[in-house]
Amino acid sequence: MQEYIEVEFRTGRMGYYKNPDNLPIQPEDLIIVEVERGEDIAQIVHMAVTREQTDHNDIPLKEYKIRRLANETDLDKLRNIGTEEEKASKTFNDVLSRYPFVMKLIETVYQFDGNKLTFFFTAEGRIDFRTFVRELATIFKTRIELHQTTGRDEAKRLGGFGMCGNQYCCSSFIKKFNQVTIRMAKDQNLAGNLSKISGPCGRLLCCLNFEEDFYVEAGKDYPLIGTCVLHNDQKAMVFRIDVLAQKIYLAHDDRSIVEMSLDQFAKLEVISIPDLEQC
């Protein structure tokens, strides 16, 4: 079975196409493709994706075609389309000022053939903007779509630099958001101060997901937090583990802290483990 080519549109949406005509295309090439209403430009992300690896929601029932590689005329049009989008953004805000609701425009994107104009915005709660959309459609004389985005989507579209000094992962290489949970932060001993592990979007850092598998696998050899042991004839509780440093930290009743290796811990007598008995 022929594999799919994964592409990314200017809106950030991913799409999947086949190449039955064996066009000479490569990763990062710009191509003109069929879409539901006309043609659009997209960049190739991956050349060989199986159906099982795809997001099935992005595979339409009708099979659309890759028209061609983007030529010089297409590239000139792409360079100039930003000017038209800036004009559309200004018009959007001018029209919005006459309406009672509050919306923050994040990005304006024309479909490459002009058959659709998409506005991405943020707002508090849901907004009934049907009348607003009709007025925009009358002005621009094309199909109008309004997409209310989340904090993560806003950060991805606006871009910026994280506390690590690098460009936001979401705006540089992450194509799809994966779930990030507080459990991941706990596995990595980072749950103490949530403000330090939250991004500008207000959500937990996407990079917590990158090393989670390592911490889970390496942590299998370590005791659970709350495990009680007998240390120097005194009860002590495991209150922290550091997988990277390969250290285990015990707390005694007198609040003294003892640091030890996994081999040293293995020689201690376990009194109780969490969820079974209090230390």
Which CATH number is 265's domain given?
2.30.30
One pLDDT digit (tens) per residue for the chain, 279 residues: 458 889 999 988 888 898 888 889 999 999 999 998 899 999 998 888 877 777 666 666 678 899 999 999 999 999 999 999 999 999 999 999 999 988 999 999 999 999 999 999 988 888 888 899 999 999 999 999 999 887 777 777 777 888 888 888 877 777 777 788 888 888 887 877 777 888 877 788 888 888 888 888 888 888 888 899 988 888 899 988 888 888 999 998 888 898 999 889 988 888 877 654 455
Q: Which of 215, 231, 254 finishes a domain?
A: 215
Is the same domain home to 131 and 194?
A: no
Q: Which of 149, 172, 194 finishes a domain?
A: 149
| pLDDT of the residue at 117 | 95
Domain that holds residue 95: 75-149
Is the same domain home to 209 and 241?
A: no
What are the CA-CA distances from residue 206 to residues 16, 194, 270 (Å)?
25, 13, 36
Is the same domain home to 210 and 182?
A: yes
Is the same domain home to 58 and 86?
A: no
Is the same domain home to 93 and 122?
A: yes
Is the same domain home to 137 and 189?
A: no
Q: How many structural domains comprise the chain?
A: 4
| Closest alpha carbon to 21 in 45, 5, 6, 8 | 5
Give yes or no for a contact between 216 and 187, defined as CB atoms under 8 angstroms apart. yes
CA dihedral 16, 18, 23, 25 (to 10 degrees): 30
Please give the DSSP secondary-structure letter assigned to residue 149.
Answer: -
| pLDDT of the residue at 180 | 86
Q: If 0-12 CB within 10 Å is exposed, 13-18 middle and 19+ buried, where does residue 165 land?
A: exposed
Residue 207 falls within a domain, yes or no? Answer: yes
* CATH label of the domain that carries residue 122: 3.30.300
Q: Which of 94, 121, 149 finishes a domain?
A: 149
| pLDDT of the residue at 221 | 86
Residue 277 falls within a domain, yes or no? Answer: no
Is the same domain home to 232 and 264?
A: yes
| Closest alpha carbon to 31 in 76, 80, 60, 65 | 65
> What pTM does this model have?
0.68
| pLDDT of the residue at 29 | 93
Residue 234 falls within a domain, yes or no? Answer: yes
Is the same domain home to 10 and 59?
A: yes
Residue 279 falls within a domain, yes or no? Answer: no
Is the same domain home to 59 and 82?
A: no
